[in-house]
Amino acid sequence: MKKHLNTIRHLKWRQVYYQVFYRFKRKFKSYTTPKFDKHLRERKQLEWKNGLSEQESYSVPNKFMFLNRDKIFGQAVDWNFGSFGKLWTYNLNYFDFLNQESISVEQGLFLMRDYISKEEQLKDGLEPYPISLRGINWIKFLSKNGIEDEQLDKALFNHYQILLDNLEYHLLGNHLLENGFSLLFGAYYFQDEKLYRQAKKVLGNELREQVMGDGAHFELSPMYHQILLHRLLDCIKLSQSNSWKSEELLSLFKKNAIRMLSWLEIVTYSNGNIPMVNDSAYGIAPSSVSLFNYARSLGIKWEKGKMSSSGYRKFEKSGFEVFMDVGNIGPDYQPGHAHSDTFNFELYVDQQPILVDTGISTYEKNELRQKERETSAHNTVKIGNREQTQVWGGFRVGKRAKVVELEERDGYIKASHNGYYPTLHEREFRIEDSGFKIIDRIKNQKEHAVAHFHFHPSISNIEQERDSIILQTEGIVLFFKGEGIKVSNQPCHIAEGFNIRKNAIKIEVSFNQTLETTIRKVNR
C-alpha cells in the first residue's frame, strides 16, 4: 500500500484526472476509427526531402526486424502480432520502415493499403503513441514521393481525429511531446487549423517543460534525448521547407534544438557512444554524429554547453572520460524511464569503454526488467538489501532517493543522497593527471555496504591482487582502500541492445563506512 501511495502522490492532478477519464471512456468506446467520408479539400503538396533515413527494418517478403528480433509474415502481415511483446508490436505499427533507403514506393504503398484494409481489426496500432509516430512516417513518405491518394489521406486524417481525442495527458512526458510533433506534421500536411492550434499549444507548453536549463530532456535518458532531438530537427525542416505557418514556431524550435544539441555534444563520448543510463539502448535512436550533421544541414549553429540542472556531469582529462549522475531521478510525475542509480558513473579510457552501465534489454514487465532497473545493476553503492529508489511494475517508482548536498569545482564533485535514510551515502569524484578517484562514505551505517563496478563485455583479462584489480590488456589498475573491505569477482550481463545480453564481469567491494577507489593507467 505504501509503495502505491509513494507512486501516486507525485502525479499531477491532470494525470490522475485523465487516467480515470480514459479508463472509464475505454469501457464504452474503443479506439474506433471515425467514419470521415467528406472530400478533403484541395491542398498544396507538402515539401519534404532529404531527412534522416530510418534503420533498415523491412525486407521482402514481409520480413520485419525490430528490437533485434525478426519475423517473416509471408503473404499477410498481422499488424496485431504480439508474440514478441508490446514494444515490438508498437514498432511494427510505427511504419519507420517507410523511410528506410531500400524500400520502394510500390512496397511502401502496398503495406499502407494493407494496413488500412485491416483497420477494423487493429488494436495497439490505434493507440495515440503509435498513431503519432506512424502519422509522421506516412506524411514523410507520401510527400517525398509526391503521392496523392485520397483513401490513404482519409485514413490518415481519421487517425489524427483519434489522436486529437486521446492526447496522452494521463502520461505526459515524451509521449505527449510526440503527440505534439505529430499534430504539427498533420496540420502542415492537411493545412488544418484545428490540428495546428492543438500542436502549437502542446509543443509550446511541453518544450518549455521538458527541455531543462542545460538542454537535457527531463526524463534523463540520453537515448530519448536523441529521439526527441531528431523529431525537433524534423519540425525545423518542416517549417523551413513549407510556407504555411512557417515562422510562427520556428524560433521556439531552434532555441530548444540549440540547447539540446549543446547538451548532447557534452554527453557524447569521443568515440560517438552515449551513456547507457536510465532507459537507454543501442540501435534505437539516431547517432549523435548523424544528428549533428542533420542540424548543420538546417543551418543550426551551437556551442558546447555545461551540465547543470540535469544532474549529470562529465570529466575529461588525460584520456579519461567519466560520466556521473549526481542528480535526482527525473520528473517526479513521470519517472517511468528512471532507474535506481543515484551516483552511478561510466568510465571510458582512450575512447574504450571500461566501466559501464548494464543498460536495458527489455521493456516487458518481468523480473529481468526489474533487475535491470535496480541499484545493484549500476556502478554505485547498495546498502543492505534496500534499494536507493523503489522501482517496480516495469515503469513505476515509489520512494525515491533525493540528493541533499552537492559541492563541486573543477575536477571535483561531492554529493550525498538520502535513499537509505536515516543512513546517508556520500560519494566524492575527483579527476587528476594521475587518474580518477572515488571516495564513498556511509553515515549512520547500520548495514553492510557494497560498491558495484561493471566492466564492459570486451574486458575479460581481469586479475586480482589482494585489494587491486588489474586489467592487463587495457593497462588499467583499480586500487581499493578502506576498513574491512572484501573484493569479489562476479559474473554479470551487459545489455547491448534490446534482447541482446553479453556475459561480463563485475567487481563487488564490501566495506565499512569508507571506501577509496583509485583508477589509473599503468605502463604496459
pLDDT at 287: 98
Q: Which domains does the chain have, with CATH numbers?
A: 27-210 (no CATH), 214-307 (no CATH), 312-521 (2.70.98.70)
What cell numbers appear for 270 in the block?
Answer: 569521443
Q: Which residues pair with 321 in a beta bridge?
A: 316, 348
> Which residue ranges of the chain lie beneath pLDDT 50?
38
Residues 165 and 199: their CA atoms lie apart, in Å, by 13
Provide the pLDDT for residue 26: 79
- Please answer whether residues 202 and 180 qualify as being in contact, where contact means their C-beta atoms are separated by less than 8 angstroms: yes
User: What are the two backbone dihedrals, phi and then psi, of residue 335, each rounded to the nearest 5 degrees?
Assistant: -100, 25
Count of residues in the chain: 524
Q: How far apart are CA 64 and CA 71, in angstroms?
A: 5
Q: How far apart are CA 387 and CA 453, in angstroms?
A: 17
Taking each continuous run of H as one helix and of E as one strand, the counts in the chain are 12, 19
CB neighbour list of residue 201: distance below 8 Å, 6 or more residues apart: none
pLDDT score of 524: 59
CA-closest candidate to residue 278, choices 414, 155, 372: 372
| 3-state SS assignment for residue 229 | helix
Specify burial of residue 68 (Cβ count, 10 A radius: 0-12, 13-18, 19+): middle
Residue type for position 81: F
Full DSSP string of 373-391 = HSGGGSSSEEETT--SS-E
| Residues 180/181/186/189 CA torsion (nearest 10 deg) | 150
- Does residue 279 contact residue 337 with C-beta atoms inside 8 Å? yes
Report the amino acid identity of residue 12: K
414: phi then psi, degrees, rounded to nearest 5? -135, 130
Please write down the HEC assignment for all residues of 134-188.
HHHHHHHHHHHCCCCCHHHHHHHHHHHHHHHHCCCCCCCHHHHHHHHHHHHHHHH
Neighbours of 110 (CB within 10 A): 13
- Which residues fall within 8 angstroms of residue 334, CB to CB, at 6 or more apart? 171, 172, 173, 219
